Amino acid sequence: MKPITFNNTVLRDGHQSLAATRMTTKQMLPVAGTLDGMDFGALETWGGATIDSCLRFLNENPFDRLDQLKAAAPRTPHMMLLRGQNIVQYTSFPDDVVEAFVRCSAKHGMDIFRIFDALNDPRNLRTAIRTVKALGKHAQGVICYTTSPVHTPAKLAALADELVEMECDSICIKDMAGLLTPRITYDLVKAIKSRHSFPVIVHSHDTAGLALASYLAGIDAGADAVDTSIVPFANGTGQPDTLRMQAAMAGHPRVPNYDTRTLLELRKYFEGVAKELTKFMSPANDRVDSDALSYQVPGGMLSNFRTQLVEMKMEAKFNEVMAEVPVVREALGWIPLVTPTSQIVGTQAMLNVKFGRWKNLAQASVDIALGKYGRPPGPVDPEVQALARKQSGQEPVTGRPADLLAPRMPKLREELAAKGLPVTDENAVLFAMFPRETEAFYKPKPAAAPAPAPAAPAPVAAPAALPFAPAMPGKTSRYALTINERRYEATVEILN
């Protein structure tokens, strides 16, 4: 029997799930070569929230990150998470922008494109998959796992047929909320494997402590790979740790053989990185959280929720809002909870509790109800759809939503030129998704914020000029003075 393959997610999902996506390229590069030498099936290094985070928080060009990681880890295929027609944003983009984004990513070395749609609407995957295939790269189609009356294992497995029809090279069962149970994983993998010979990858989160067991069941059912990470960017709301997963497979006919000593060295290195990222990490993310199972929401959404409720002074209503989540989900056609639908459902649940059910419809809820994000898995509540039509004055979309969007690349290039930004396809796609952040990235930075004080020379004019000089000949005194908000320290020796 073939040993199971592990893909490693530490450079993307690992820190996105456990450290608010704040790992910098500089923190990744020292071990990129080591990770590359481990024989992982793939290194997930890009996409998801990393592109947003590079621009918004880290002052990094995302494409430069990809270039550097590819140069440092050239052997193992690099993998990215792509939100289909949403690219790596929350709304739909026209086909030409999706195509340009995929072309740029491939040009900078991306190998495997893991492509999902929050509604599991295959029409939202088509353009990205077609472009990836045309470039000779690997298109991995995704089935987003969720639970609802309309998401039976058989129906989810049937989605695989459509992905295969679109010529995907492999299929990923993506369990963003850690809701997969061992038995369901087994049945899902078996169902897909019995229909198709394509590689099946299981991706889960250990939020509720089930991922490792679900992986084992998936492996027994014939899964070809599972995603693991490295502690401290593993377990909890992230993927199971590589060492832990391998240890759990002792005695299994498919146990892999990833080098334990190197894995321990990597862990040691990442512990150092975690120290630098402490303020973005929370012990709550490491805790096994069975709330995720009863609320059925992704772990990341739970922690965001708590913060948002505090901001809205609604923290006392936490349970009420959580109870409203399934109500909103059902009304919006049982949409899975994954970016961006998790944010949309969460926001609407808060509004329903704050103002009364459906008294205040968020624009995004209107768009979902009118099919602008794609076809929801179940029927939209007629009452909510009527409200959405009334509020927007628009009729529901029945076709593929992106068919209604005009091409934008020529316009984006003009906008870049008008702003004096370098006119490249890379900048155009970044600007389409993150206009303010992309512009800010190229703006001359304000004179580097508090630079470390230079060691020397300290412009001390004359000891006598210092108002507080206890000038005793033969003695040395230390002085500190501040010039233009910069603090200088000097030791002055009184000579006479």
Contacting residues toward Co ion, per CB under 5 A: 13
Q: Position 208: which residue type?
A: A
Report the residue number, 13 or 52, with the smaller CB distance to Co ion: 13
State the nearest-atom distance from the C-beta of 178 to Co ion, in Å. 9
Q: Cα–Cα distance between 310 and 434 in angstroms, integer?
A: 27
Q: CB of 180: closest distance to Co ion in angstroms?
A: 12
Say how far apart CA 46 and CA 62 lie, in whole Å: 8
Pick 203 or 372: Cβ nearer Co ion: 203
Q: Which residue is nearest to Co ion (CB)?
A: 13
CB-nearer residue toward Co ion: 116 or 431: 116
Nearer to Co ion, 13 or 367 (CB): 13
Helix (H) or strand (E) holding 54: helix 50-56
Class of residue 227 by CB neighbours under 10 A (exposed 0-12, middle 13-18, buried 19+): buried
Could you give the CA distance from residue 57 to residue 434 in angstroms, rounded to a whole number?
A: 12
Q: How far is the CB of 22 from Co ion (least distance, A)?
A: 16
Number of C-beta neighbours around residue 469 at 10 A: 14
* Amino acid identity at 387: L
> Minimal distance in Å, beta carbon 49 to Co ion?
10
Q: Which is nearer to Co ion, 206 or 437 (CB)?
A: 206
CB of residue 126 to Co ion, shortest distance in Å: 23
Residue with tokens 């910098």: 24
Provide the minimum distance between the beta carbon of 175 and Co ion in the complex, in angstroms, as a whole number: 8
Element holding 68 (H helix, E strand): helix 62-72
Look up residue 380 and give its two tokens. Answer: 């939209």
Name 141's bridge partners: 115, 171
For the bound state, the minimum distance from the C-beta of residue 206 to Co ion, rounded and expressed in Å, comes to 11
Torsion, Cα of 333, 335, 340, 344 (10° steps): 50
Residue 411: count of CB within 10 angstroms of its CB: 13
Q: Determine how many CB atoms are found less than 10 A away from the CB of residue 324.
A: 20
**Of 84 and 371, which CB lies nearer to Co ion in the complex structure?**
84
Nearer to Co ion, 13 or 169 (CB): 13
- Helices assigned H by DSSP within 314-472: 318-331, 341-355, 363-369, 382-392, 409-418, 425-433, 435-442
In this complex, which beta carbon is closest to Co ion, that of residue 95 or of residue 227?
227
CB of 85 to Co ion, least distance (A): 19
